[in-house]
Amino acid sequence: MSDRLERELKKALQRVEPPAGFAERVLARAAREEAKSAQPRAWFRWFGMSGLRWAVACALCLALAGSAVLYRHQRQEKGEQAKEQVMLALQITSSKLRIASESVQQISGPEQPVRSEEP
Amino acid sequence: MKRIGAIVALVLAVQLAAFAQDWDPGGTLKKLSARASNTVDVTLDQSMLQFAGGFLNSKDPDEAQAKNIISKLKGLYVHSFQFDKPGQYTEQDVAAIQNYLKGPDWIRIVDVRSKSEGQNVQVYFKKEGQQFKGLVVLATQPTQLTFVDLVGPITPEDLRALGGQFGIPKVEVHPNPAGKKGESK
Amino acid sequence: MTSAAAVAASELRFEDLVREHERMVFSIAYRFLQNPASAEEVAQDVFLELFRALSKLESRAHVVFWLRRVACHRSIDYARRHKNAAAEVSWDEMPEPSHRDPHAHSASDPMLAKRLRQVIAALPEKMRLVVILRYQEDAGLEEIAQTMRIPLNTVKSTLHRAHAILREKIGAAIGEANV
């Protein structure tokens, strides 16, 4: 396999950063799992009919909170995508300007003859 | 009176929006997109740029520079087309784009051919009086055509800043009396 | 050591491991699935599995090997469960997450890198993983074989076929870009 292709593959497949806050979300999930497995079951004994109403109220609150979290998550995701689009656009622009800049520098160097194209 | 004022405001808003909108000279970009095997289309108007700016990290040098540049822009549009083989776009296609950049508002500041890179690159500034209003980069190579349109008061200083960052290493090319070319990183 | 102290010690280690290996795990999933949300879901699940299995792992090297293996298998599982959803994604619209590894060299032609990633994304599952492990993770052939639980000869032949496909799809672009 050509060295060139290998180099390009390594460049193209560089590791990428996970979205902001990834580690925190993992740790939060692990903490919840740890808390869940440690929770005593005794509270089931006094969970009577009034508990059912509370459960419904809690479920509604969780759903609302979940929607807010989802909205924030989606907004974060959209923002990250917009950011990546900006960086990609500027990277492409930068690469083309670099080529132009290098060509101009090569042409305008004092030791080089004046030419309209690179030899 | 109030209604006239509202209509004037609406007309102005539409004009400003039209100026800052994605621009397809002669419909050429749409035709190229249909023939390309691979495209990059970035279309960011001012509101999207402001939204994106909120997610750029000021502590990261590249992102801080990007934030600074896009804060001035009304629009950032990049269309890059990759073709399977040479000949899938023509000189007429390129000329159709260039014709739109021949008006009195446009100044072509760079027009180079790089045989080592196999690319032609043209850079245009849009000027209104003494003010810069935009930048266009048109880069062509046998199987790729890239059209970059930055709308807003981007200056030559911003251009210099753009030329060396965002993951692209800045290359210092020194004239060599032996005729040996500097190599790009 | 009391049970609370043992838990505290293992939690500290777990956080260190998450921060040390989040890029690796996320990147494997992302390069395979080509979707950041899916990659995060898989990567989170991988670390949750690590959390449960931590006491069974013997060394930091074992953790790396374990994480790669689980990331690969969970990514394949996810892709198979969400086959239809994955097929609807348009690669042209997918932004590339930023990466700023100070020791890496950026591609001087972003289009070429993007094209390579698209071709890789279209490879068959196992071939795609072999390429990711080889070129993103710099894993040796034996290591790839152990990670994916496939024979060494299969890794070699799979890589050979992948090279042929990549040469066919990208060879002209590399020749012209002269990067």
Report how far residue B108's alpha carbon sits from residue B136's, in angstroms, rounded to the nearest whole number.
Answer: 9
Per-residue pLDDT of chain B (185 residues; tens, 9 = 90+): 556 555 544 444 444 444 445 677 778 888 898 898 888 889 999 999 999 998 888 888 888 888 988 998 999 999 999 888 889 999 999 998 998 888 888 989 889 887 766 789 999 989 888 888 999 999 999 889 999 999 999 877 777 777 655 544 343 333 333 333 333 32
Distance from CA of C149 to the nearest CA of A (A): 22
- Looking from the CA of C134 toward its CB, the CA atoms found within 13 Å total 21
For B:103-142, CB contacts with A below 8 A are 110, 112-117, 119, 121, 123, 137, 139
Size of interface B-C (CB pairs under 8 A): 44
The pTM for the full model equals: 0.52
At residue B183, the pLDDT reads 34
Report how far residue C29's alpha carbon sits from residue C86's, in angstroms, rounded to the nearest whole number.
Answer: 13
Contact B37, B84 (CB under 8 A): yes
Nearest to A5 among C22, C24, C167 (CB): C167
- Looking from the CA of B160 toward its CB, the CA atoms found within 13 Å total 4
Mutate to test the interface with A, among C22, C68, C160 (most CBs of A within 10 A): C22
Distance from CA of A63 to the nearest CA of B (A): 27
Q: List pLDDT tens digits, range A84-95.
A: 889 888 888 888
Contact B108, B136 (CB under 8 A): no
Closest Cα partner for C79 from C145, C141, C128?
Answer: C128
At residue C76, the pLDDT reads 93
Give the residue-averaged pLDDT of A101-111.
Answer: 68
Q: List pLDDT tens digits, range C37-75.
A: 999 999 999 999 999 988 888 788 889 999 999 999 999
Contact A87, B70 (CB under 8 A): no
Q: List pLDDT tens digits, range C68-120.
A: 999 999 999 999 888 755 444 444 444 454 444 444 444 457 788 888 998 99
| B55–A79 CB contact, under 8 Å | yes
pLDDT averaged over chain C?
80
